[in-house]
Every structure is written in C-alpha cells, then in structure tokens.
Amino acid sequence: MSGQMTKYEQYLKSLESMKEPTPANLVFNMRGAVEYAESKGVKISELSEEEKKQFIKEKTEAMLA
C-alpha cells in the first residue's frame, strides 16, 4: 500500500508544476462550412482536410473580416 501512496504523492507534486492548458487562438467559420458543404451536397464531416482548413482562421484575422 505504501507504493500506492508514494505514486499518489508524486502525482500531487506533479500537479503543482503543471500549467493550465491555453486554448487555441483559432476560430472556425461554421456557417461558411455548412453553406459550402450544402452547395456540394455533402456533410461537413465528408469534406477533405484541405476544404475544412479554409474555414479556420486566427482570432485576430477573423475579427478583421
């Protein structure tokens, strides 16, 4: 049981040094993606990665548009 407590204590110490995750600075234009997919007659999930990427912008870039 002491081995289990040691691992737990190591886990607690590791939490002290962990940083909080930072959200991506990206925005997905869902409306544009839906309209694009509908115009092709497919679902968004059926679009290629390249097609999906055209609807992803950085927040600062998206705010200017």
Q: Would the pLDDT of 1 be above 60?
A: no
Domain-located, residue 41: yes
Domain-located, residue 47: yes
Domain-located, residue 31: yes
**Which residue range(s) make up the domain with 37?**
22-65
What stretches of the chain adopt beta strand conformation (E)?
Answer: 26-28, 56-58
C-alpha–C-alpha distance, residues 53 and 51, integer Å: 6
Q: How many Cα atoms within 13 Å fall on the side-chain side of residue 38?
A: 6
Q: Which of 23, 20, 31, 24 is nearest to 55 (CA)?
A: 31
Domain-located, residue 56: yes
**Confidence grade of residue 27 (pLDDT, cut at 50, 70, 90):** very high
**Confidence grade of residue 62 (pLDDT, cut at 50, 70, 90):** low
Q: How many domains does the chain divide into?
A: 1
Domain-located, residue 2: no
Q: Would the pLDDT of 2 be above 70?
A: no
